[in-house]
C-alpha cells in the first residue's frame, strides 16, 4: 500500500458539476453502461464512468489532466442509455467547464466568466471600452456615404483589437501550458506536435462527431459553425492587417470576392448556430443537460453573426438612425467573444485539440485493439 | 371453534386465480386443511413457468418432480375444482362473501383424449410453440407440453383456421368437440387469492443487446427450455444459428433490469439463475469459457453460499460492468460483446458463441381488482382487504421456494376469511 491515495474531496467541484449537469450526478451507480455504449471511448481510456465517479468524489486533480474529458464529443449516447438518468454526457460537459475555470489565466477571469451571475459583466466591460474610443457625434454625421469608421476610427479600433488579441493569445498560451503539464501528470504522454497534423485533419473531417450516435444535426451544425468562424477569423485578420498597412480600405465593396466570401462564412455560422440551438432545444435530455456555459457560448457566437449581418444591411441601407447603434452592439459582442475566449466554452478548440494530440498514438487502431480472443481472459494492463 | 370441514357448502370456498407454483400451492394447502377451492388458470395447463424450468436453485433438482407431487395431491383432493383456459371476469362483494364470474374458453378436446397424437399429425396449421419460447413449432391442436396437467390436447383458438375438421375426423376416441363454446360460471366464494405470477421482460425492447436481431442472443427463460430434456433441443444447449456447440458463453446480467428505461427494479433472482445456468453449460461443455457481466452480483441470504460454489465449480469468469452493446458478426454470426471491465479499468470487446440475457420479472397484475393497490412497478403492494390476497411473484420478484412459502401464508389468510364468515354466519 505504498501508493495509498489521499483523497481531499473538492466540494466546490462536486457542487459545480452537479449544478451544471442537471442535478442528477449522485444517481450514478457505476454500472458502466455509459463507457460501453460510447463509440469514442477506447480500450485504454474508457469514459465517462470513471470521470463521473471522480466528479462524485470531488477528485479535481485527477480530472483536470484527464484527456478523456475532452475526447468526449458530447453526443449524448451515454445519457440516452443511462439506466439511472444520471446524464453522464452532461456531467462530462460540466467537468470540462470546471476544468476551464481551473486552468484559466488569470484565475479570477476564469471564475468571473464561468459564473452565471457574472454573465453580463464581460459584455458591459466591452461596451464601456468601446464607448471610450467611440466618436459619438458621428451618429449625426452629414458626410455621405456613412461608414462605421466615422464612429470607430481605424487608428483607435485596430490597436484595441490587436492589444486584446495579444492578451488572449497570452492567456491561451498559459492555459495550454498548464493543461499540457496536467496531461503529462495524468500519464497522457503521447507526442503532441507531430500528432497535430493528423488531429487537425480529423477535426476538419468531423469524424468523431460522425461516429457518435446523436445524429447528423450536431455534426453539420458544428462543422458549419467551425468553418464559418474560421473563415471570418481569417478574413477579419487579413482585413485588419491589410488596412493597418494601408493595403486595404474598409468598407470593402459588396461584390469584392473577399466580401462575398466573408458573407458566405457568416451565413454558414448563423445556419450552424441555428442547427445547434435546434438540437439542444428539441432533444429533452440535451436540453436538461445544457448548462449556462453552453447557452452563453452558443448565444454569443450566434448574436455576433446576426448583428454582423444586420450592421452590414443597415450600412448598405445608409440608415443613420440604426446602423451605428447596431454596429456598436456587434462590436461589443465581438470584443466580449475575444475576451471570453480563454474562459468560456470557446477554449474547447484548444484543450480538445491538445487532448486528442496527446492521445493520438494510443488510439491508432481503435476497435481492433479492443477485440480479444473468443471469451478470452482479460490480461491486466 | 370453527370446524372447517363443515364449511363446505357453496359460498365458503376459496377462489385461487393463477395455476403457477404459487396458485397451485395455495389451492392445495387450503384444500388439505379442509376448504373448498376453485383454481382458475388462464393457460391450458398448471405449473406455469416452473413447468418449463430445467432445474431449481439452489438444490438443482428438476421442477417436474415437485410438480408431479403437487398434481397428485391436487388430483387426490376432492375439494379442489380446476378450470384451465379460464379467467376471472368480475369480482364483487365483501370479505367472506364474494361473487366471482369466470369465463372459460373452449378447449375443444375432452377428457376422453388419450394423447395418441393423431390429431396433431393431421393438423395443417403450424404455430410457434409458446412453451418452448417459440424456438420450435407445434400445431394448432397440441399438447401444451409433455408433462402437461391436465394431460389433454387443446386447440389454439387464434391459430386454428376453423374451417377444417381433420382433427375431429381423425380422432377415434371422439375426444374432439369443435362445437364447444365459451362458458361462464358464477361462483360464491369467501376469499380470493391472486397468484397471477410474472412474465419475463420483453428482451426485444432492449435494442442495444441484440435480442431478435442477433440469432445467438437468447434469454435466460429460453436457456431453461434449451437445457430441459423435453425442450426444443432435447436438452443440448447449442447455438440457435447453426446448432453448433458453444465454445464461449456470456451471461449479461440486468438485461433491462435496474434501468429506468426498462424495469427500474432488481428482480433479485436473475444473478442466481445465471449462476445455475452456467452449471448447465459447464456440465455439457467442460471446456467452454463462461463469462458473467454484472453490475452487482446479488445473491441474497443463503444463496451467497450457492453463488460461491457455483462460481468455483463452473469456472465462471466474473466481469463487473454492464454490457452496453452486443453486435453480430456478419458471416460467423458470432457475437461481439462490449463492456467496461470496471475492476480492471479497461474497455473490452469479446467474441462469444451464445449471449444469454438475464431478463427480469414483470408482474402480471393487470387483471387484479381495484382493491389491491399496486406499487410504482406494478407489483401488488397490499392485499385488497382481508378477503382478497396476493401471493407469489405478482407481489414481488421471488424464487420458487419463496413463492411457495408466500402462497402457503396466503392460503392461511384466505382460510381465516372463510373462518370469519363461519364465525359471523
Counting residues of chain A whose pLDDT is more than 90, the rounded percentage is 62
Q: pLDDT at position A208, please?
A: 86
Do B60 and B188 belong together in one domain? yes
Tell me which of A30, A39, A370, A375 to substitute to probe the interface with B (most B C-beta atoms closer than 10 Å): A375
Is the domain of B46 the same as that of B189? yes
pLDDT band at A115 (very low <50, low <70, confident <90, very high): confident
Which of residues A206 and B337 earns the better pLDDT score? Answer: B337
Percent of chain B whose predicted confidence (pLDDT) is above 70: 96
Nearest CB among A371, A374, A381 relative to B346 is that of A381
**Mean pLDDT in residue range A117-140:** 85
Q: What is the pLDDT of residue B385?
A: 78
User: Residues B333, B307: one domain?
Assistant: yes
Neighbouring residues of A263: CB distance < 8 A, sequence distance ≥ 6: A312
Statement to judge: residues B245 and B328 lie in one domain: yes
Give me the residue from A81, A370, A377 closest to B324, CB to CB: A81
- For residue B298, give the CATH number of its domain: 3.50.50.60
Q: Is the pLDDT score of A1 beyond 70?
A: no
The pLDDT value recorded for residue A285 is: 77
- A288/B contact by beta carbon, under 8 A: no
Closest-CA distance of chain A to residue B251, Å: 11
Based on the fold, state whether residues B190 and B303 are members of the same structural domain: no
pLDDT at position A257 over 80: yes
pLDDT digits (tens, 9 = 90+) for B212-228: 999 999 999 999 999 99
B325 and A49 in contact by Cβ < 8 A? no
The Cα angle at residue A107 between residues A102 and A113, in degrees rounded to 5: 85
**Nearest Cα residue in chain B from A83:** B259
Specify the pLDDT at position B4: 35
CB contact under 8 A, B344 and A378: yes
Question: Model confidence at A370, in pLDDT bands (50, 70, 90)?
Answer: low
pLDDT tens per residue across span A297-318 = 999 999 999 999 999 999 999 8
Mean pLDDT of B62-76: 93
Q: What is residue A320's predicted lDDT score, i.e. its pLDDT?
A: 83
Quick check: A58 and A99 in contact, CB under 8 A? no
For chain A, the average pLDDT equals 89
Q: Are residues B190 and B233 in the same domain?
A: no
Mean pLDDT (whole number) for B101-129: 96
Q: pLDDT, tens digit, for every residue of B390-414?
A: 999 999 999 999 999 999 999 999 9
pLDDT at A2: 61
Same-domain status, B56 and B186: yes
Answer whether residue B334 is part of any domain. yes
Helices A11-20, A88-103: crossing angle, 10 deg rounding: 130
Find which of A24, A27, A29, A33 to mutate to test the B interface (most B CBs within 10 Å of its CB).
Answer: A33
**Which uninterrupted H or E stretch holds A211?**
helix A207-211
A299, A307 contact by CB (below 8 A) = no
Contact status, residue B292 vs residue B251, Cβ threshold 8 Å: yes
Mark whether B355 and B387 lie in a shared domain.
Answer: no
| Higher pLDDT among residues A251 and A29, named by residue | A29
Would the pTM count as exceeding 0.95?
no
Last residue of a domain, one of B332, B360, B388: B360
A166 Cβ neighbours under 8 A, 6+ residues apart: none
Say yes or no to pLDDT of B139 above 70: yes
pLDDT in tens, A329-363: 999 999 999 999 999 999 999 999 999 999 998 87
Instruction: Give the integer Cα–Cα distance in Å for B324 and B338.
Output: 6
Contacts of B109 (CB under 8 A, 6+ apart): B119, B141, B152, B153, B154, B155, B175, B176, B177
In a domain, B142, yes or no: no
pLDDT of residue B253: 98
- Count Cβ–Cβ pairs < 8 Å, chain A vs chain B: 111
Q: Do A35 and B347 touch (CB under 8 A)?
A: yes
Residue A378, min C-alpha distance to chain B (Å): 8
**Same domain, yes or no: B306 and B399:** no
Calculate the dihedral angle through the C-alpha atoms of B342, B347, B350, B356, rounding to the nearest 10 degrees. 40
In which band, very low, low, confident or very high, does the pLDDT at A372 lie, cut at 50, 70 and 90?
low
Averaged pLDDT, B36-55: 96
On the question of pLDDT at A366 being above 70, the answer is no
B347's enclosing H/E stretch is: strand B346-352
* pLDDT greater than 70 at residue B108: yes
Q: Kindly report, residue by residue over B170-214, the tens digit of the pLDDT.
A: 999 999 999 999 999 999 999 999 999 999 999 999 999 999 999
**pLDDT, chain B, mean:** 93
Are the CB atoms for B295 and B322 separated by under 8 Å?
yes
CA–CA gap between residue A99 and residue A86 (Å, rounded):
20
Domain encompassing residue B297? 201-360
Percentage of chain A modeled with pLDDT above 70: 93
Residue B166 lies in a domain: no
Is the residue at B187 inside a domain?
yes
Q: What is the pLDDT of residue A381?
A: 33
Q: How far is CA A11 from CA A8, A55, A56, B165, in A?
A: 9, 10, 9, 77
Per-residue pLDDT tens over the stretch A184-242: 999 999 999 999 999 999 999 888 888 876 668 888 999 999 999 999 999 988 988 88
Q: What is the pLDDT of residue A376?
A: 62
Q: Would the CB atoms of B325 and A381 count as touching at under 8 Å?
A: no
Using an 8 Å CB-CB cutoff, list chain B residues near A32.
295, 320-322, 324, 339-340, 342
Same domain, B77 and B210: no
Q: Would you say the ipTM is above 0.95?
A: no
The answer to whether A284 faces chain B, any CB pair under 8 Å, is no
Which residues of chain A does B323 touch, with a Cβ-Cβ cutoff of 8 Å?
Answer: 36
Task: Report the residue of chain B nearest A374, measured CA to CA.
Answer: B351
Do the Cβ atoms of B340 and A373 come within 8 Å? Answer: no
Q: Are residues B189 and B210 in the same domain?
A: no
Does domain A117-139+146-360 fall under CATH 3.10.180? My reply is no
Give the pLDDT band (50/70/90) at residue B362. very high
Domain boundary among B310, B341, B360: B360
Of B258, B320, B348, nearest to A372 by CB-CB distance is B348
Query: How many folded domains does chain B comprise?
Result: 2
The CATH 1.20.950 portion of chain A extends over 117-139+146-360
Per CB-CB distance under 8 Å, the chain A contacts of B289 are 374-376
Query: What is the three-class DSSP state of B104?
Result: strand
Residues B322 and B207 in one domain: yes
Amino acid at each position: 500500500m505504498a501508493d495509498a491515495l489521499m483523497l481531499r474531496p473538492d466540494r466546490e467541484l462536486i457542487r459545480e458539476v452537479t449544478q451544471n449537469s442537471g442535478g442528477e450526478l449522485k444517481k450514478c451507480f457505476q454500472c458502466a453502461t455509459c463507457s460501453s455504449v460510447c463509440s469514442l471511448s477506447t480500450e485504454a481510456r474508457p469514459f465517462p464512468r470513471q470521470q463521473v465517479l471522480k466528479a462524485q468524489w470531488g477528485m479535481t486533480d485527477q480530472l483536470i489532466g484527464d484527456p478523456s474529458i475532452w475526447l468526449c464529443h458530447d453526443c449524448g449516447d451515454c445519457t440516452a442509455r443511462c439506466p439511472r438518468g444520471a446524464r453522464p454526457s452532461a456531467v462530462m460537459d460540466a467537468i470540462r467547464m470546471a476544468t476551464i475555470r481551473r486552468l484559466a489565466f488569470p484565475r479570477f477571469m476564469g471564475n468571473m466568466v464561468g459564473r452565471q451571475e457574472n454573465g453580463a459583466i464581460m459584455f458591459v466591460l466591452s461596451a464601456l471600452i468601446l464607448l471610450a474610443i467611440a466618436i459619438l457625434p458621428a451618429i449625426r454625421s452629414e458626410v455621405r456615404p456613412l461608414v462605421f469608421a466615422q464612429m470607430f476610427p481605424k487608428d483607435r479600433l485596430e490597436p484595441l483589437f490587436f492589444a486584446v488579441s495579444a492578451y488572449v493569445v497570452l492567456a491561451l498560451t498559459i492555459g495550454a501550458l498548464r493543461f499540457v503539464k496536467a496531461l503529462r501528470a495524468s500519464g497522457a504522454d503521447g507526442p503532441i506536435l507531430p500528432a497535430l497534423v493528423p488531429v487537425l485533419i480529423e477535426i476538419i473531417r468531423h469524424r468523431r462527431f460522425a461516429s457518435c450516435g446523436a445524429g447528423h444535426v450536431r455534426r453539420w451544425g458544428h462543422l458549419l459553425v467551425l468553418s464559418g468562424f474560421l473563415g471570418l477569423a481569417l478574413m477579419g485578420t487579413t482585413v485588419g492587417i491589410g488596412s493597418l498597412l494601408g493595403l486595404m480600405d474598409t468598407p470593402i465593396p459588396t461584390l469584392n470576392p473577399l466580401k462575398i466570401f466573408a458573407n458566405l462564412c457568416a451565413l454558414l455560422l448563423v445556419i450552424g448556430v441555428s442547427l445547434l440551438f435546434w438540437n439542444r432545444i428539441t432533444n429533452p435530455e440535451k436540453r436538461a443537460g445544457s448548462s449556462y456555459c453552453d447557452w452563453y457560448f452558443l448565444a454569443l457566437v450566434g448574436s455576433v453573426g446576426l448583428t454582423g449581418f444586420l450592421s452590414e444591411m443597415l450600412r448598405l441601407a445608409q440608415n443613420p438612425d440604426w446602423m451605428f447603434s447596431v454596429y456598436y452592439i456587434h462590436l461589443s459582442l465581438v470584443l466580449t467573444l475575444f475576451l471570453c475566449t480563454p474562459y468560456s466554452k470557446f477554449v474547447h478548440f484548444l484543450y480538445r485539440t491538445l487532448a486528442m494530440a496527446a492521445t493520438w498514438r494510443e488510439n491508432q487502431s481503435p476497435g481492433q485493439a479492443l477485440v480479444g480472443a473468443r471469451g478470452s481472459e482479460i490480461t491486466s494492463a | 371453534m370453527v370446524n372447517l370441514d363443515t364449511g363446505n357448502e357453496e359460498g365458503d370456498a376459496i377462489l385461487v386465480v393463477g395455476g403457477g407454483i404459487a396458485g397451485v400451492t395455495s389451492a392445495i394447502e387450503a384444500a388439505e386443511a379442509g376448504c373448498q377451492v376453485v383454481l382458475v388458470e388462464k393457460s391450458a395447463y398448471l405449473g406455469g413457468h416452473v413447468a418449463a424450468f430445467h432445474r431449481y436453485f439452489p438444490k438443482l433438482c428438476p421442477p417436474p418432480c415437485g410438480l408431479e407431487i403437487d398434481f397428485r395431491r391436487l388430483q387426490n383432493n376432492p375439494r379442489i375444482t380446476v378450470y384451465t383456459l379460464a379467467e376471472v371476469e368480475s369480482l364483487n362483494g365483501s370479505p367472506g362473501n364474494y361473487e366471482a364470474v369466470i369465463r372459460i374458453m373452449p378447449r375443444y378436446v375432452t377428457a376422453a383424449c388419450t394423447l395418441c397424437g393423431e390429431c396433431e399429425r393431421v393438423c395443417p396449421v403450424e404455430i410457434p410453440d409458446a412453451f418452448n419460447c417459440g424456438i420450435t413449432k407445434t400445431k394448432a391442436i397440441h399438447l401444451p407440453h409433455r408433462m402437461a396437467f391436465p394431460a389433454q390436447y387443446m386447440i389454439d383458438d387464434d391459430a386454428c383456421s376453423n374451417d377444417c375438421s381433420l382433427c375431429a375426423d381423425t380422432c377415434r376416441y371422439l375426444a374432439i368437440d369443435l362445437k364447444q363454446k365459451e362458458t361462464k360460471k358464477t361462483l360464491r366464494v369467501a376469499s380470493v387469492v391472486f397468484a397471477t405470477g410474472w412474465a419475463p421482460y420483453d428482451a426485444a425492447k432492449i435494442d442495444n443487446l441484440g435480442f431478435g436481431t442477433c440469432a445467438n442472443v437468447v434469454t435466460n427463460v429460453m436457456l431453461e427450455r434449451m437445457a430441459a430434456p423435453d425442450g426444443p433441443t432435447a436438452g443440448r444447449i447449442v447455438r440457435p444459428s447453426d446448432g453448433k456447440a458453444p465454445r464461449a458463453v456470456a451471461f449479461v446480467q440486468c438485461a433491462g433490469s435496474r434501468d429506468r428505461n426498462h424495469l427500474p427494479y432488481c428482480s433479485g433472482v436473475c444473478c442466481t439463475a445465471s449462476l445455475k445456468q452456467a452449471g448447465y453449460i459447464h456440465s455439457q461443455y467442460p471446456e467452454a469459457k463462461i463469462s458473467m457481466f454484472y453490475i452487482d452480483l446479488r445473491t441474497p441470504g443463503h444463496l451467497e453460499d450457492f453463488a460461491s460454489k457455483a462460481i468455483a465449480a463452473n469456472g465462471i469468469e466474473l466481469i463487473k460492468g454492464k454490457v452496453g452493446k452486443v453486435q453480430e458478426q456478419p458471416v460467423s454470426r458470432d457475437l461481439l460483446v462490449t463492456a467496461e471491465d470496471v475492476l480492471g479499468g479497461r474497455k473490452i470487446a469479446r467474441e462469444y458463441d451464445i449471449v444469454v440475457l438475464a431478463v427480469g420479472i414483470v408482474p402480471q397484475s393487470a387483471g387484479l381488482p381495484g382493491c389491491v393497490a399496486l406499487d410504482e412497478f406494478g407489483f401488488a403492494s397490499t392485499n385488497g382487504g382481508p378477503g382478497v390476497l396476493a401471493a407469489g411473484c405478482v407481489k414481488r420478484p421471488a424464487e420458487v421456494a419463496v413463492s411457495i412459502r408466500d402462497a402457503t401464508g396466503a392460503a392461511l389468510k384466505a382460510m381465516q376469511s372463510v373462518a370469519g364468515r363461519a364465525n359471523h354466519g
